[in-house]
Amino acid sequence: MELPARAGGKSDKNGESKLKWWQLSLIGVGCTIGTGYFLGSGIGISKTGPSIVISFILAGLTAMIVSELLGKMFIQDPQKGSFRSYAKKAYGRWAGFSSGWVYWFSEMLISGSQLTALSILTRFWFPNIPLWILASIYAILGIIVVLIGTKGFERTENLFAVIKVAAIFMFIILAILVLFGFFGGDKNDFNVPNTTDEIFAKGFIGLWSSLIFGFYAFGGIEIMGILSVRLQQKKEVVKSTTVMLIILTSIYLISIFLASGFVAYNKFNAKESPFALALADYNLAFFPHVFNAGIIIAGFSTMAASLFAVTSMLVTMAEDGDAPKLFAKKGKLKVPPFALVLTISVLVISIVIARLMPDRVYEYITTAAGLMLIYNWFFILISFPKLMKATKFDHVKRYIAMLLIFLAVSGTVLDKNNRMGLFVSIVFIALIIIVVLIMRKRKNKKKNAYPKGI
């Protein structure tokens, strides 16, 4: 099973389509925007108010540094395994193993997060249907997509990416029109914070605890590293990622600023999109329905793509000896059956969690997914000086990014709901460490069981 070419397009004889730098930039924008932004940003606003913009700026800065360093490593040594391969080269097999599994777990958490978000959004039309039933329906649809294969799905991914971006632009345009008096609006309806207390509605602690939601909105930039091998000119990868992040950050900041200005920060929650909530009181009866449908379509594409990615990566890790060989064993289906069973099992766990903790499950999973993603960003930052001749400025940027990642992770301790997500991520990391220690112990008994480095 191959990782889907999320851009669609034609493929060469090796199954890898060749892309121009601007095409990769647009793909990155489409792949990064998900329901974590459309829905999760509302949680961030509720924790800090208008200063959520600062969280997004800091997250965007960190994402740009991480992407630049990953791009430089790619230019010097193109690797299909991207960050996983660089971690392995820098620190040995244990690092490649850990990076791969951290990414697998993060993508599974993203799938669970998207699953829950889709269910929450669907309750806009069907408020009486339990969350876990809707989650089950979307999970079944996602698995069907995996079973059908990648070809048809690849052709629709560009359309899904356009829908995501179009939904944000629709909100921005309508919000601006409301400010100019259309749809029963008025410029006085928009609140521009003028004092420190208004900007930092819950103080520095609120801003600190909201950082993780800014970082989660940029989760997905790793796909740029994975798809960089398809660039026509490998040296253009840094330009491609930089342009992508400038576009993405600009879209995020404008839409978040507008949303937070129309509604009091304490009105935002994890059950409604902040953008639909911002325009709920105006003569835009069509907007909530159209916007909600657009987000659901786009969110489903992200979830399905994540399911493809995790199943494919599991097979690859099994082939490399970083997962049980059982997961690479092929059957009659297009997908290795045991790899598919594991993916389904994790989805079932997400549904059970949604059944047991319906009120806070999305926030828990979103926090955990965001943390697992930036753990891998940290792998990229510490691998860079091992593989590249880093300049003083490179080191300064690395340390800044590490500090911001530390702030995002530590900020989750400050909020009781975020702490649950931190606990979930720690459990996953602990499981990976235990497996690494077992592998090391086996190596000591059979020195030739694994290549040097683990």
What DSSP designation does 306 have? H
Backbone angles phi, psi at 255, to 5 degrees: -70, -40
Q: Please compute the mean of the pLDDT values over residues 101-113 and round it to a whole number.
A: 82
- SS3 call for 194: coil
Q: Which residues 6+ apart lie within 8 Å of 197 measured at CB? A: none
Q: Please compute the mean of the pLDDT values over residues 88-104 and round it to a whole number.
A: 87
Give the residue with greater pLDDT, 320 vs 43.
43
What DSSP designation does 182 have? G
Q: Do 256 and 45 contact (CB within 8 A), yes or no?
A: yes
The per-residue pLDDT for 14 is 47
Residue 282 to residues 41, 179, 252, 255, 431, Cα–Cα distance (Å): 21, 11, 22, 17, 50
Over the range 314-350, which residues count as b (16 or more CB within 10 Å of their CB) and which as e?
bbbbbebbbbeeebbeeeeeebbebbbebbbebbeeb
* pTM confidence score: 0.84
Give the residue with greater pLDDT, 399 vs 103.
399
246/252 Cα distance (integer angstroms): 10
Longest dimension (CA), the chain: 75
248/42 Cα distance (integer angstroms): 18
- SS3 call for 190: coil
The per-residue pLDDT for 100 is 85
pLDDT digits (tens, 9 = 90+) for 149-162: 555 555 556 677 77
pLDDT digits (tens, 9 = 90+) for 281-296: 888 888 888 888 888 8
- Residue 70: enclosing H or E segment and its boundaries? helix 52-76
Confidence band (pLDDT; 50, 70, 90) for 405? very high
Q: Which residues 6+ apart lie within 8 Å of 230 measured at CB? A: 5, 16, 17, 18, 19, 24
Confidence band (pLDDT; 50, 70, 90) for 385? very high
Residue 453 has pLDDT above 60, yes or no: no
- Other beta carbons less than 10 A from residue 109's beta carbon: 29
The per-residue pLDDT for 408 is 94
Mean pLDDT, the chain, integer: 81
pLDDT digits (tens, 9 = 90+) for 431-441: 988 988 887 77
259/278 Cα distance (integer angstroms): 5
Confidence band (pLDDT; 50, 70, 90) for 3? very low
